Amino acid sequence: MLITIDHVLSKDEVKQFRHYLDNAEWNDGTKTAGTLARNVKRNAQIDDSTEVAISLGNHILRSLGNNPLFVSAALPRKIYPPKFNRYADGGTYGTHVDSAIMQIPGTNLSLRTDLSATLFLAEPDEYEGGELEIETEFGVQAVKLEAGDMVLYPSSSLHRVMPVTEGARVASFFWIESLISDEGERAMLFDLDQTIQKLTPSIDANDPRLLKLTGIYHNLLRRWSIT
């Protein structure tokens, strides 16, 4: 299930983010890569412990908490603190799969990566190349979104960032551990929830059919969730 979520950040918020990010110190991204990924990764990242990374990351988390589509699609249990990267001058990240388990910085907690997210912070016309290519059961999906928009996809997917040949691609990325570990079950719950939300405006809140569907959703969530 690959889902794009529009307007996670407004254009004004993106402008504020870019003010801080464009003046931040960027480090070699290979320092945070695993053994295999280090051979195919060429980008820059901001140190996760800096004030700007923490502040902007918390802003993203607050925005996601108020985004019904994100909550419906991800059913988040834990979210890895958002990170920030920049691709320029041929920067790229070859085909790889994200680590299954990650340690949350500064804690003794670990996170199972069920979903990966990329929040675009540069407009498509600011750079050439830089598409996020995700291998799905329906073929390769190339993603290049407006600044402030986000893509959510299974962390089990092979994916890559194509070389940026002009300009700079700036983004935030992070991972989500869902209450529903099974991708198929999560997709069914998402479809059911979206159907309920679409029916709600046109059906009386006390309509038995709507109450029945809502009950089915919550009972399935109760049955499948990990707490």
Four-residue CA torsion sign, 12, 16, 19, 25: negative
28 is known to lie in a ligand binding site: no
Q: What are phi and psi of 85, to 5 degrees?
A: -135, 165
Nearest one of 85, 93, 83, 104 to 177, comparing CA atoms: 104
7 is known to lie in a ligand binding site: no
User: CA-CA distances (angstroms) from residue 122 to 70, 86, 87, 91, 203?
Assistant: 21, 10, 11, 15, 41
Nearest-angstrom CA–CA distance, 64 and 66: 5
User: CA-CA distances (angstroms) from residue 166 to 89, 104, 125, 173, 189?
Assistant: 7, 34, 10, 21, 41
% helix, strand, coil for the chain, step of 5: 35, 30, 35
Look at strands 101-103 and 132-136 and give their pairing.
unpaired
- Asked if residues 209 and 92 have their Cβ atoms less than 8 Å apart, the reply is no
Residue 115 has, within 13 A of its CA and on its CB side, a CA count of 31
98 is known to lie in a ligand binding site: yes
Tokens of 62: 């607050």
96 is known to lie in a ligand binding site: yes
Binding site residues, as ranges?
96, 98, 159, 169
Binding site residues for Fe cation, as ranges?
96, 98, 159
Binding site residues for 2-oxoglutarate, as ranges?
169
